[in-house]
Amino acid sequence: MENVTRDPNPPGLSGLWLPLITPFLEGALDEASIRRLVAHYLEEPVDGLILAATTGEGLTLDDAEVERLVAVSAEAVAEKRRGLPLYLGLSGSDTRKLLKALARTRDWPIEGYLIACPYYSRPSQAGLFQHFDALAEGSDKPIVIYNIPYRTGVNLENETLLRLAEHRNIVGLKDCCADAAQSFELLRDRPANFAVLTGEDALYYSALVQGADGGILASGHVMTADFAGIRTRLLEGDQPAALRDWQRLSPIPRLLFSEPSPAAVKYWLWRSGLIASPEVRLPMTPATEALAQQIDREIAQSVPSGLIP
């Protein structure tokens, strides 16, 4: 494993990141909605976008669609002449295939990768270490590891992660380990300049209080400034105000994850006029009528306070 000094400032790995939804229209990529979304979030306090990840229904996209999604998103960023880092979500259980994906995307207009632990195969900690070490050696872009054992079936333990964090290309973690002790101990023991961003929307406030650098939050698609504002208040030292804001905001993640994501987020964005359709791809299904009505009520209540996206 290459063990050298890491860039002291990995580009933008803090704050509020969005795992951007992928809009569809009549079964195809909706490029107009992609451009509209990216342009919208360029005007919001968002620190980065992750494309084709779980919320982006990446497993339902073919290679050509992923390439087009990245190209259109990068063009939309360039048109606004504002910097916003784009990371690409990757996942898989075959290290060789992922190395080929890294090679294929090497020259794409992305700053780095979010790579999930191998799913279904349940490798040992030694296997996880060798997997991510090989990927880091095979990329000249930074890698954020995504640990989400309740989806993949395997937990990347802190001891293994801290060994991987010695690699200059492994710069952070999206933490969804669902183990409060493991998350706390990682935040305590991580090396300098290794970013930890929570991926548990409902635990955003508590993760920030314990020292997380930010969050990669599907819920941040809506009420974006309010989610970003929680961290801003904490950084300013105003924890009571941050807690009050979080108490008001915390029902939103529960609502948006009350059915499999990203159906609820897509429905909200559609009703807000940001995307042309709330379509999802099977095996995901659209928001139920009951959930749609709940979201409509939430949007109606949010309009007077300017909280709608």
d(CA 227, CA 229): 5
Strands 15-19 and 48-51: parallel
Element (H, E) at 90: strand 86-90
* DSSP calls for 165-226: TTSTTEEEEEE----HHHHHHHHHHPPTT-EEEE--GGGHHHHHHTT--EEE-GGGGSSHHH
Q: Encode burial over 86-96: b for 16+ CB neighbours within 10 A, e otherwise.
A: bbbbbbbbebe
Q: For 211-307, where are the alpha helices, taking DSSP H only?
A: 224-235, 239-249, 251-256, 263-271, 289-302
d(CA 163, CA 167): 8
- Cα torsion 246, 249, 253, 254 to 10°: value is 100
Contacts for 181 with CB less than 8 Å, ≥ 6 apart: none
Strands 86-90 and 48-51: parallel
Instruction: Give the active site residues.
Output: 146, 174
d(CA 166, CA 2): 8
Strands 15-19 and 195-198: unpaired
Under DSSP, is residue 10 helix (H, G, I), strand (E, B) or coil?
coil
